[in-house]
Chain A
Amino acid sequence: MVSKHRNETIRKRHRFEEKTGWEDINDPVRDRASHKLRALIASAIVFVISLFYLDHIYQIQIDDHDLYTTRAEDNRIRVRPIEPIRGNILDRNGTILAESFDTFDIVAKKEKIVSEKNFILNAKKVFKFQKPEVDRLREEFKNKKLKEITLQKNTTMEEFTKLSVDQYLLPEMELIVKSNRRYVFPESTSHVLGYTGKLSESDYNSTVEIKEGMTSVGKIGVERFYQNLLSGSPGFEKLETNANNEIIRVLEKKSATRGSDVYLTIDYRLQNYTYELLKGQRGSIIVMNPHNGDILSFVSYPGYDINLFARGISSKDYKKLLQDKANPLFNRALIGQYPPGSTIKPFFGIVALEDGIIDKSKVFACTGAYKLENYKRPFKCWKKDGHMDVNLSSAVASSCDVFFYRLAEVSGIDMIHEKLQKFGFGEKTYIDLYGEKEGLLPSREWKNQSRQAAWYPGETLNVGIGQGYFLATPLQLANATSLLASGGSSVTPHLFLRSIDRINNEVSNFNYSDNKNEIEIDTESLHVVNEAMWRVIYDKNIGTASHIKKIDSLEFAGKTGTAQVYNLDKGKTGNKSLQDHALFISFAPFESPEIVVSVIVDNGGSGSAVAAPIARDIINFYFENIKSQVAMQ
């Protein structure tokens, strides 16, 4: 009981104490000690956390210093390439064919324009803008993505000088310089020069050297082949920019190096003249110097406006070019492969003489057709009634097919294939342009591989007159002809004459001494064939081109060719695409040749009627207007 009462008392007291907080009255000493302990714990925590922080900061500032330094530099430094000025392309006399020039886009940064209304008002005054342009400006103001307003694109320096008189009205105007390419004779030189275009993925896997900062590159033609010479080296500006991409200052600057000027062997007057001669036709013309390989004229007709490409061709224009039936984008001179037809006869004649298969007086009788064993149908001569008795000279002059059928049969395909190689048939000429085709000088082996079939004797006969499987490019024909004209000195045809480094005016000339490779041609045989080619034009009785008007001042030699496109329907349907190709190879003057001219008119009809007069006109033009200058060089 006592204890119960006592417990009760204690409980009461507890309750009282709880209520009054008597025990809550603090014990100062204990509180102070307790607080001190906790304050020290807190201080220790402060210290430890600080160390932890410092360790973390140490990692950022010391361990990862290099990483963050790089990232800080990446943040602030922009490298802006400076496009080099592309070298000009000039003809052999220094006439500019392709040039670089700067244009300006006149723009105004939106952030600098205070009042849109006043800006448009003043722009109307300065640029004489009409409603459509003003509407365009308004659109550009509305377009939130655009940071600047384009006032006028592709402004030349002269135009801008005129405009800058009113610059006070539009202080916001800024210029963006753009390098442009302009072709002076855009169509006639199209297949020689090619064009430049925006750098694309495929350019990286080519022989072209792509330098950091380049945006455009030669795509085709001379622009492509001499890209590394023409392009120069881009420079750069190292800029410090802030977070808003505003330029604070230029840290470093390296100017671009101008590209070299390239002089071509082309004579622009001859080039334009030959180009015009093919007007209304399709075809190609090569004029070259047989002694050194200079290409004086290189034409594939029709050409196309390469300025369209330089400016960035619209898909509409490009589609138009692709769909053009005349196929203007096709470089006939370089990659067109034609049956050489009768133009092969002089070459075949020479190798036959050299091989002793015939001599120059050997006579065959042409009855208008040649009968080959096991062949039902005879091989016809172009002249129904035949040429009667012909030797090599008259067979070339009259282009007798039967003579060469016989010659081919006797020679055999193996001899023809082997010997004609020395004139470059079936092989690239290695002119300084990309994409050249090698034609086709057929052989047993070739037929076996590509057709899985044996060679038939009749096919040899067709090859003997430059038909059948035989294919040659216009360039190959010109190249082979130059061997006849030079008497066997083989030269690689080339367009490059010299380049001039505009930085130090250093001239690099074409290395002519390396461009000579004598091949053996029997002089006697050559003489026979060349004379026969003279007879083509001057032998009034049998020369296939003897009807054409002659040149007064000089004589020239040549050979006509009419390459059959289809055996059927020869010209009867009136469908021009089925007509024969007209060919003519020639050199002039006959006594001491200076130029070689090869002409092919696609589906033009007969070589004597169509191609020969063209060659004659070219020769005439050359010796009347150009020769004097060439002689001087």
Chain B
Amino acid sequence: MRYSTSEFSGISSILKIDLKLFAIVMIIVFLGMITLFSVSSGDSSLMLKQGIRILIGLVAMILLAQIHPDNFKLFSPALYFGGIFLLVMTIFFGVGKSADRWLDLYFLRFQPSELMKIFVPLMIASFYSDKSLPPKFKNLVVAAFIIVVPAFLIAKQPDLGTAILITTSGIIAIFLSGIRLVHIFLGLAFVIGAIPFLWSLMYDYQKSRILSFFSPDQDVLGSGYHLVQSKIALGSGGLFGKGYMNGTQSKLDFLPENHTDFIFSAFGEEFGFIGVLLLITLYVLATFRGMSISIKATDNFSRILSGTLILTIFLYVLVNIGMVIGILPIVGAPLPFMSYGGTSMLTVFAALGIIMSIKSHQRLMRK
């Protein structure tokens, strides 16, 4: 593999940053900031908080980019089991409003489930890195356990959305590791068979959320209200949008969660379909760039990990947009790089840092 000189030069090379991926993401971050500015009617404290979070995210990204992927592999079991331990702790000592998702360590309050978004792909990539590929059935079962244990603990919090997302990102990792077609069908059959069982395990509010997804208009002020208002925001935006700072749904508070989970609708209201097209294109480009890094990576661990992480980020994008446009149930997932909120911002930047580390620590391959 040849490297062009330009990629080895300049500050991006010193910081071990992939400039293309970084540039795309920063445009998205910028769009997120201006939308936040609009929906908060220029609340500078909100902007400042989000700015600080982005900075922390960037720092975390750069720091992680310096670490050699081998070290991620080395520490992956420790990180994974540490994460499991924290999840168990959360069940016993967790705090939170409606669900105990937070762990309060006095100096630090965080959601261990958020860590697992990275640790699960890391563990699977690490597990498969020295196994023969495509994975044998035995190894598939092990991988399934790697996924199911944290997913179950998170669902128990209860945070069904994150549990499903982590499961899905685990499945992506398995897919990228080269699973056989027959195993895919077996897995699918298993999942479909498990649905009634899972349904019986769910809490009522989780059920009602899923049900409201199928008929949002019947319960306008209940859980379906969010979706109805979100569609009104988007739909009234039209082709060119209502113009920056002119969104009525978002600025008059008809659109709930307009700076967190529903920031996409607020963006779509002001910038219209053109803006939405641009934004989705940016996310797709970032994903393609990530996939390109994954393809060019020189070992199985790096390939699986970088591919899984970028696809997981894209999965979050799909889940968030899917829920605000009514394709998926409202599960409460933020839009990566745009939604207001610290944990999610840190997680996606950390994932980005790992991808960049993989990009910049490639070995020369003999052909």
Contact = CB atoms under 8 A, between A and B. Distances in A.
Interface in A50-86: 50, 53-54, 56-58, 60-62, 64-65, 67-69, 71-73, 75-76
B236 interface: yes
Contact of A61 (B172, B238, B300, B314): B238
A242 to B, nearest CB: 4
B232 A43 contact: no
B233 to A, nearest CB: 7
A36 interface: yes
Given A23-B132, A26-B132, A67-B235, A75 B176 contact: no
A240 B253 CA distance: 12
Nearest to A65: B238
A53 B327 contact: yes
Nearest to A32: B303
A76 B248 contact: yes
A50 B287 CA distance: 11
Contacts of A242: 252-254
A2 interface: no
A551 interface: no
Interface residues of A, number: 44
A248 interface: yes
A248 B41 CA distance: 13
Nearest to A45: B311
Interface string B2-46: 000000000000000000000000000000000000000000000
B284 interface: yes
A35 B129 CA distance: 12
A490 to B, nearest CB: 65
A69 B238 CA distance: 8
B130 interface: yes
A243 interface: yes
A238 to B, nearest CB: 14
Interface string B271-287: 01100110010011001
A43 B287 contact: yes
Contacts of B276: 54, 57, 61
Contacts of B272: 61
B288 interface: yes
B322 interface: yes
Contacts of A40: 291, 295
B207 interface: no
B294 interface: yes
Contact of A39 (B229, B248, B291): B291
Given A53-B327, A60-B231, A68-B235, A35 B294 contact: yes
Given A38-B176, A68-B236, A62 B273 contact: yes
Given A21-B132, A35-B295, A57-B268, A65 B235 contact: yes
A46 to B, nearest CB: 5
B210 interface: no
A62 B237 CA distance: 9
B239 interface: yes
B64 to A, nearest CB: 22
A316 B37 CA distance: 60
Contact of B234 (A39, A68, A75): A68
Contacts of A72: 232-233, 235-236, 248-249, 254
A64 B231 CA distance: 10
Nearest to A70: B236
A21 B304 CA distance: 20
Nearest to B233: A72
Interface string B290-325: 010011000110011001000100100010011001
B178 interface: yes
A62 B238 contact: yes
B226 to A, nearest CB: 12
A24 B131 contact: yes
B81 interface: no
A628 interface: no
B170 to A, nearest CB: 15
Contacts of B52: none
A26 B128 CA distance: 11
Contacts of A42: 172, 175-176, 291, 307, 311
Contacts of B254: 72, 75-76, 242-243
Given A23-B132, A26-B300, A39-B307, A54 B277 contact: yes
A31 interface: yes
B133 interface: yes
A47 interface: yes
Contact of A46 (B232, B288, B322): B288
A241 interface: yes
Interface in B123-142: 130-134
B127 to A, nearest CB: 12
B235 A61 contact: yes
A53 B321 contact: yes
A10 interface: no
Contacts of A23: 132
A25 B283 CA distance: 36
B273 A71 contact: no
Contacts of A54: 276-277, 280
A22 to B, nearest CB: 10
Contact of A38 (B178, B234, B327): B178
Nearest to B178: A34
B82 to A, nearest CB: 27
A49 interface: yes
Contacts of B239: 61-62, 65
Interface in B61-78: none
A69 B254 CA distance: 13
A241 B252 contact: yes
A75 B318 contact: no
Contact of B253 (A25, A46, A244): A244
A67 B237 CA distance: 11
A50 B325 contact: no
A23 B299 CA distance: 17
Interface string A476-515: 0000000000000000000000000000000000000000
Closest 5 CB pairs of A and B: A68-B235, A72-B236, A243-B253, A242-B252, A24-B132
18 contacts: A21-B131, A28-B365, A31-B303, A34-B178, A35-B178, A39-B176, A42-B291, A46-B288, A50-B280, A53-B318, A56-B327, A61-B239, A62-B273, A65-B235, A71-B232, A71-B235, A243-B253, A248-B252
